[in-house]
Amino acid sequence: MESNLTITTNPTVAVRLTSTVSAFEVNRRFNRGITIAEFKSKLELVVGTPASCMELHLFSTSDKFLQKLDDNEALLGSYPVDDDCRIHVIDQSGAQSGEFSDLSKVEKFELSDEAYEKRADSLRNFKKNMKLGRFNEENAAKREETLAIKEAEEKAAAEAITVGSRCKVQVTGQPTKIGTVMYVGTTDFKPGHWVGVMYDEPLGKNDGSVNGKRYFQCEPKYGAFVKPLSVTVGDFPEEDYGLDEM
């Protein structure tokens, strides 16, 4: 009985590429029918080494050295290049490892604020001409007025809160929390007026101190600082969780 079995070879091969000028390994697929010279030209775009300065070493899938790819006229497929083999590119131009990826060696472009101010094609100049953002005096005045009103409201709310009062804290997007007012006033960590609260449960963020400065004392995770408008003072007794019941 005659056999009609035909063996075909995949026309392309997927290889791992490494080089002496980069610490990274990349994977690419190439046509086995290209010459080594054509292969080197394609590698220029991958590793950044000129084709004329390349020496190619072929390694097996287990990274065992096999041979050099040194015949520029030979086809890539004429060498024992299989899927997942590694081809190592040795740069003979004198380039050092990491030369193309070390950003510390790249000269940084710097422009003084005075020079930037004079440029007609800058984003700042565009915003000035279109009266956008801080260059819109009317909107800027409205924002300042809104901030001033809010600051006055927060100050008035803070003056109505006394240390030792029981309170309820309601912050948008968070559950309502019950606690005791431990601090009222300004802080070093952010401008404006703040209220330091010791919660009844460990729902806070600190122990009454922020950035090394202590404003009040409580257990870790029981303390928090909130804006005065989020605090309501009143008769809020501690919840009985039934801890004394059997």
Residues in Cβ contact with 43 at an 8 Å cutoff, skipping those fewer than 6 apart: 17, 49, 51, 54, 89
CA-nearest of 162, 192, 178 to 224 is 178
Residue 244 pLDDT greater than 80, yes or no: no
For 181-224, write each residue's pLDDT tens digit.
999 999 999 999 999 999 999 999 999 999 999 999 999 999 99
When pLDDT is cut at 50, 70 and 90, the band that residue 40 belongs to is: very high
Residue 144 belongs to a domain: no
Domain count, the chain: 2
Choosing from 91, 120, 151, the residue where a domain stops is 91
When pLDDT is cut at 50, 70 and 90, the band that residue 135 belongs to is: confident
Choosing from 91, 119, 134, the residue where a domain stops is 91
CATH code at 227? 2.30.30.190
Residue 43 belongs to a domain: yes
CATH code at 82? 3.10.20.90
How many residues are given for the chain? Answer: 246
Residue 127 belongs to a domain: no
* 3-class SS of residue 22: strand
In which domain, by residue range, is 229 found? 160-233
Residue 17 pLDDT greater than 90, yes or no: yes
> d(Cα 56, Cα 133) in Å, to the nearest integer?
57
The pTM (predicted TM-score) of the whole model is 0.45
Q: Which tokens hold the place of 20?
A: 């002496």
Residue 116 belongs to a domain: no
Q: Which tokens hold the place of 181?
A: 């007012």
CA-nearest of 83, 75, 106, 65 to 29 is 83
> Looking at residue 112, what is its pLDDT?
82
Residue 71 belongs to a domain: yes
When pLDDT is cut at 50, 70 and 90, the band that residue 138 belongs to is: confident
Residue 229 belongs to a domain: yes
Residue 78 belongs to a domain: yes
Residue 8 pLDDT greater than 70, yes or no: no
| Residue type at position 210 | V
Mean pLDDT value of segment 13-37 = 91
For 50-81, write each residue's pLDDT tens digit.
999 999 999 999 999 999 999 999 999 999 99
Query: Is the Cβ–Cβ distance between 163 and 181 less than 8 Å?
Result: yes
Choosing from 73, 91, 109, the residue where a domain stops is 91
Residue bearing tokens 């260059």: 135
> Looking at residue 129, what is its pLDDT?
81
> d(Cα 21, Cα 27) in Å, to the nearest integer?
16
> d(Cα 61, Cα 65) in Å, to the nearest integer?
10
